[in-house]
Structure 1
């Protein structure tokens, strides 16, 4: 290879996934990972810079870098194909041309698979309390698969689609995103959503604890029921002169119990605001 480059250890992921036609989607996904990591993937989309007599040194350098990246990309692609496909494409001039030929052979015949990938994007919804990171990784994989199969979805539309998959707890995040006219790619969006998730989780956990907690019964309250005629201290009969206050058991109310009692008091206060009692019959009549 005249570019003087050498294969990266990352290319080992292609070693056991040589393209034979039936595994085109998996092969292309792994190829994209390698080319992106090595900085060569741009040659599949960007044309070679055209230079002339009046071109600057920077333009000439850009052309030389593109040609080197293109040669490396071609080598990665050819080395990870079956012998038949390798023979067919070994004289194809650029990595873009090889990619176009393979898409024509395999991706264009995968319309049902492409439709399934697009359907997954449109119907997937994130459940409440689910990991936003796992959800985002799933959505990114769907977009990559759809792209490999020939679907074209621009970055802005991808973000809009992902926002629609979020649960109601992220409604404020979506509102802020749209009101501030933010622009992000999927990786940046995932980072922002993870930051929002960290802020929201403590609040949701606190609400869950408050709604499911019940007053604790302390050891003193377990023996609250006593035999008739016995006092708290030793079970002896109460003396006729004992005051009513002395006969009452002293139960310490915990914070959860106090909070429940306060809530009940507020509830009864509102209830009696809407109801009135008629003294002569004792019936309860609704207000108005």
Structure 2
């Protein structure tokens, strides 16, 4: 149906009295497909997102504005996830295993957003998120030469009773 013509090809030059029939037809076709592409894109985007995008009469410009909006929200999401990862504290309302798995999930989301988070960093952050009752475990980890994997840390912490 060629709706993407307005995205693939630049807008033809404005029609003048000197334009050929072929140029007029090409311009009319491009205009029609541009309107159709805009309509399809606008109807496929939620009202909340569409409201934050500047008004455009060209499909290509609209698509670029949507892309710019997504990049900004991606950065915001990365910042929120980093804050969540580094500020979580174990509150005792869930199990230690669940608490650490939530942190691992946040780290996985950051990796999906191309933010490299090393497992040893997650182990360190998770240990520091635990309360004072885990102090002996933290000291034990810090004095060992070997690093724990995430699975080992979860197992060891889950075995430890909060006291």
What is the TM-score of this pair, normalised by structure 2? 0.52
- The answer to whether the 8 Å contact 1:128/1:167 transfers is no
- The answer to whether the 8 Å contact 1:132/1:193 transfers is yes
Which residue does 1:112 correspond to in 2?
A: 76
The verdict on how the C-alpha distance between 1:107 and 1:149 changes in structure 2, with shifts beyond 3 A counting, is farther
Which residue does 2:155 correspond to in 1?
A: 191
State which of 91, 97, 100 in structure 2 corresponds to 1:133: 97
Which residue does 1:121 correspond to in 2?
A: 85
Instruction: Give deviations 1:226-285, integer Å, cap 9, x for gaps.
Output: xxxxxxxxxxxxxxxxxxxxxxxxxxxxxxxxxxxxxxxxxxxxxxxxxxxxxxxxxxxx
Which residue does 1:147 correspond to in 2?
A: 111
**Partners in 1 of 2:104 and 2:154 — Cα distance?**
10
- The answer to whether the 8 Å contact 2:86/2:125 transfers is yes
How large is the Cα RMSD of the aligned pairs?
2.2
**Partners in 2 of 1:189 and 1:128 — Cα distance?**
17
**Partners in 2 of 1:129 and 1:192 — Cα distance?**
19
- The answer to whether the 8 Å contact 2:103/2:122 transfers is no
* 1:19-168 correspondence to structure 2 within 5 Å: 110-128=74-92, 130-168=94-132
Q: Which has the higher contact order (CA 8 A, sep 6+)?
A: 2
**Partners in 1 of 2:111 and 2:130 — Cα distance?**
22
- Pairwise CA distance, 1:182: 3.1
What secondary structure is seen at the aligned counterpart in 1 of 2:160? Answer: helix
Instruction: Give deviations 1:167-191, integer Å, cap 9, x for gaps.
Output: 1100000000111233122122100
- Whichever structure has more helix as a proportion of its residues is 2
- Pairwise CA distance, 1:130: 4.3
Gaps of 5+ in 2: 1-44, 46-69
